[in-house]
């Protein structure tokens, strides 16, 4: 599981993540939602040690990400905002390089290309991919090591309706097989049908944390609940 306790991040005296705590459990899809600038991406980057926290702790499978061993992709698959591969490379070469660096069998490259719907386009240069195709390539990279844990930052960006349905099915299936999924979005509607648990961030703080049905309970739908919670904080 992912266990985050009291994470704080300050940039030049400005606090962008303010004591965030959350848990993402095996067999569940946990949604991290909030407006742009709420601290979602920074929180995810701290979990995987791409951004050093000011204080607090984040554990994945009981240890810090940096202590997962030499081939972390086998344990944790990530799709993080801004993590764009070299546009001059062909997609199949990009995945092949990642596979070799993590001691993953070459046959897995074709498997994940099929899983994400990129077979037939794998020899295109990444720079010629649409945003949706790049998101699919990012998902292929995340899945390459067949990891137990997936950490996905705004993975629905750029996907058409069929792509959104495909991705919901994929992450739901991963959780149903006992995996861990922590996925962020600024649109709670994207997660409503797939997330078991929702953590809502605003201004770097957790303002709601509970089962999806629990957060929805006092409102007509989950989106109404979300905007009500965020509006209360934004007015302060």
Q: Are residues 114 and 2 in the same domain?
A: no
Residue 221: per-residue pLDDT: 66
Residue 89: per-residue pLDDT: 85
Distance CA 18, CA 22 (A): 13
Distance CA 215, CA 108 (A): 39
Q: What is the pLDDT of residues 38-95, one digit of tens each?
A: 999 999 999 999 999 999 999 998 999 999 988 999 999 999 975 666 678 899 999 9
CA distances from 69 to 41, 141, 144, 170, 185 (A): 24, 18, 17, 26, 29
Distance CA 228, CA 21 (A): 21
Tally of domains in the chain: 2
**What angle, 0 to 180 degrees and rounded to 10, lies between the N-to-C axes of helices 107-115 and 131-143?**
130
Question: Which residue ranges in the chain fall short of pLDDT 70?
Answer: 82-86, 218-221, 228, 231-236
Angle at 29 between CA 26 and CA 30, to 5 degrees: 100
Q: Does some domain include residue 138?
A: yes
13 token code pair: 């005296």
143 token code pair: 């899945």
Residue 220: per-residue pLDDT: 63
Q: Are residues 47 and 103 in the same domain?
A: no
Q: Does some domain include residue 37?
A: yes
How many H helices and E strands in the chain? 7, 9
Q: Are residues 57 and 167 in the same domain?
A: yes
Predicted TM-score of the model (pTM): 0.91
Residue span of the structural domain in which 130 resides: 82-147
């Amino acid at each position: 599981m992912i266990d985050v306790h009291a994470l704080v991040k300050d940039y030049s005296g400005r606090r962008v993540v303010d004591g965030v705590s959350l848990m993402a459990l095996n067999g569940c899809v946990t949604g991290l939602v909030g407006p742009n600038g709420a601290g979602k991406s920074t929180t995810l980057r701290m979990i995987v040690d791409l951004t050093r926290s000011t204080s607090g702790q984040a554990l994945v499978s009981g240890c810090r990400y940096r202590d997962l061993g030499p081939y972390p992709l086998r344990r944790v698959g990530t799709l993080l905002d801004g993590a764009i591969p070299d546009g001059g490379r062909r997609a199949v070469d990009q995945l092949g390089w990642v596979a070799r660096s993590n001691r993953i069998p070459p046959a897995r490259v074709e498997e994940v290309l099929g899983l994400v719907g990129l077979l037939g386009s794998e020899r295109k240069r990444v720079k010629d991919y649409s945003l949706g195709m790049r998101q699919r390539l990012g998902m292929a990279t995340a899945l390459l090591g067949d990891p137990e844990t997936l950490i996905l930052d705004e993975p629905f960006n750029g996907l058409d309706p069929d792509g959104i349905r495909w991705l919901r099915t994929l992450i739901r299936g991963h959780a149903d097989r006992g995996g861990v999924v922590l996925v962020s979005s600024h649109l709670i509607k994207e997660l409503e049908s797939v997330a078991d648990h929702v953590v809502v961030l605003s201004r770097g703080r957790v303002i709601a944390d509970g089962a999806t049905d629990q957060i929805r309970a006092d409102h007509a739908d989950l989106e109404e609940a979300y905007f009500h919670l965020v509006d209360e904080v934004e007015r302060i």
